[in-house]
Amino acid sequence: MTTNTRAKILEYTRLHNQVRAHDLTRVLGITRASVHRQLNKLINEGKLEKIGKPPKVYYFLSSKKISKQLSGDKATVDLINDRYLYISPIGEERQGWEGFIAWCEKTKQDPVKTAIEYISTIKRYDKFKKNGIINGMPKMKNTFKDVYLDKLYYLDFYSIERFGKTKLGQMLLYAKQSQNVGLINQLINQIRPEIIRVIKENKIEGILFVPPTVKREIQFVKELEKQLDLPTRALSVTKIKTEIIIPQKTLSKLEDRVENAKRTIIIDDKKEYTNVLLIDDAVGSGATMNETAKKIKDKNLVSGEIIGLAITGSFKGFDIISEI
């Protein structure tokens, strides 16, 4: 039951559209701690939402509707809770079933019917996975006449039909674009076990983190390298800075992407390795991975295998990853 104080908060918010905590403290004549306690209860009850970061946080009446629940289908809800992430147009992060409901309401779809279709689509794409990772080599062999990688893995696809970006795809895109440290850390913590497993299973001796092209205050791949803190040796690699920087994602032709990678990536390393792992955040065309592997082989640095590992990869083509 809504208390008198909470009723007053809701009425004041309705009249003013959006309010801040200090407004309510002044109007209601209660302590800031009491206001925040009531605001949190109203958010948990689904009556209020908030936007912003301290010190500028605004509260407004919730637009969420009471949505249908899946009657008795716990397995479906559990899978969506594990696999789905929705980030709204204003930057709200909603995990699992709650996020799926929000997306269905946004796109005016029935959540029960759409959930069944989502699970069916997920299971179809999961058939490409073995031991939790995707073999990207068929795509490479269909794209390039000469493939210099011995193996290529994705932790997940970047996007799937109809439902758009996967959970990893969402996290990667917004971690990089928003420079959100919390989201970057969340993503790295989620993928760390799989990366370590690939390293152990393939007896990796050296790791090359594919260098970024686009200048950002926080470089995700650099942060990944730092936080993984692996005992494995890191290969020395340089990304040449040209007078006009041309990111791979802006190039629509495969031959242009190949030329870009060929001319701008330099392997400075002189050590010898058995098996080497190349780590990149996303594989679109695969040109960067393939050309980097070729440069390593041309220098005779590896006696075993060169293996690529991407957090996400495209199912076919590469335009879908042009936004990362």
Domains of the chain are 4-61 (1.10.10.10), 74-126 (no CATH), 129-321 (3.40.50)
Nearest to 324 by CA among 312, 316, 308: 312
pLDDT value of position 274: 97
- Which ranges of 244-286 does DSSP label H, i.e. alpha helix? 254-264
Tell me if residue 246 falls in helix, strand or coil: coil
Q: How many CB atoms are located within 10 Å of the residue 268 CB?
A: 9
pLDDT value of position 318: 66
pLDDT value of position 33: 93
> 201-224 burial by CB neighbour count: b if 16+ within 10 A, else e?
ebebbbbbbbbbbeeeeebbbebb
Q: What are the structure tokens assigned to 114, written together?
A: 């759409």
pLDDT value of position 92: 83
- Residues 210, 279: contact at Cβ < 8 Å? yes
- Token pair 């040209």: residue: 242
> How far is Cα 306 from Cα 202, in angstroms, rounded to an integer?
10
Across the chain, which has 324 residues, the per-10-residue mean pLDDT values are 79 90 92 93 88 87 60 80 92 88 90 92 94 94 95 96 94 92 94 96 96 87 90 90 81 89 92 96 93 96 98 78 68
pLDDT value of position 74: 83
pLDDT value of position 69: 54
β-bridge mates for residue 61, sequence order:
48
Which residues fall within 8 angstroms of residue 78, CB to CB, at 6 or more apart?
none
Distance of CA 26 to the CA centre of its chain: 41
Tell if the pTM clears 0.85, that is, is over it.
no
Write a three-state SS string for 75-112. HHHHHHHHHCEEECCCCCEEEHHHHHHHHHHHCCCCHH
